[in-house]
Amino acid sequence: MEKVYLDNAATTQVRQSVIEKMQDALLNFYGNPSSTHSFGRSAKTAVESARKIIAKSLNAQASEIIFTSGGTEADNMVLRCAVRDLGVKTIITSRIEHHAVLHTVEDLEKESNIIVKYVDLDENGSPVLSHLEFLLKENDSKKLVSLMHVNNEIGNKIDIDAFCAVCKENDALMHSDTVQSIGHYSWDVQKTQIDFLTAAAHKFHGPKGIGFVFIRKNSGLKPFISGGSQERGFRAGTESFHNIVGLEEAFVNAYNNLEEEAFYVKGLKKYFIDTISKEIPGVKFNGLSGDLEKSTYTLVNTCLPVSQDKALMLLFHLDIKGIACSKGSACQSGSDMGSHVLTQVLSKEDLAKPSVRFSFSKYNTKEEIDYTISVLKEFIEK
């Protein structure tokens, strides 16, 4: 077993059909989508077809889908434009959001003098709905709530319909970073009264550097990047055409095969939980990641019974053995700081132990899980 990739929450392997479609786009559809000649018109038609297909799956209108460079840009777009254009004076979020949200909110607090409130978390790290309701009623300022549907480190899922309903009842806007959700769960934006959601293709076997934001019609948001008239005038700049068609192909495959692939990946997660619990006594599952119903089926975050002096060598040892996993978000890999998510969830005792996130995809196997757990067991016992 030379290479085992269990870091799918960071990024996923690109589907072969996505690569082929992108290659075809680069070779044969190289016209600028804004050009009026036949080369440009062909590219423009493909861009708009991708927009319509994504919108239809979400039960949205095509005009409500704006392509971006990924989830981080999309989160920034929503948060910054809501403050600039919609009179938002209070942003309510949680302390376990992705840094694309947390750092943007912190910047807005300094730059625009907005009020920032943080929803309480329960013992498992999930936002408390009743506390959100309290914060929404606290004052009369225009509010935006930003809470991720699926946490990227511990996998907790929120009841997105309930949170959106509370926001609507209190005349607040609702944004959700759904980067770990789109491509893995079905969405209906007419049923779920969300105002903004964001997605990234590389989390569901598409290319990096492309994503989209859903912005509900008549939101009042104004252009985020000025220049040309691309993306309905909202995001200027020549469209990344090959990435857009790659996103479309990955998105279509994700939803055409959703039930079958979700069943398979959920089976892998259950097998991982059952096997590691048997082979490594004392292992814990952070947040709700050990609960197959209350967390995403794509990842599990483990707190391992390893002494503090050995903990620093764990990820290095796994890497030497060809196993790719993560101690937290890949976006934090250049930092020596611990996970801001686990800091909110774990006791001081457990924070001193190594926590490792293992995340799964359709390309993983039970044999890879057996190998990974055997390597972990050997490291812990020696």
Residues that are catalytic: 331
Only one residue has tokens 């598409």, namely 206
Judge residue 124's burial from the number of C-beta atoms within 10 Å of its C-beta, 0-12 exposed, 13-18 middle, 19 or more buried: middle
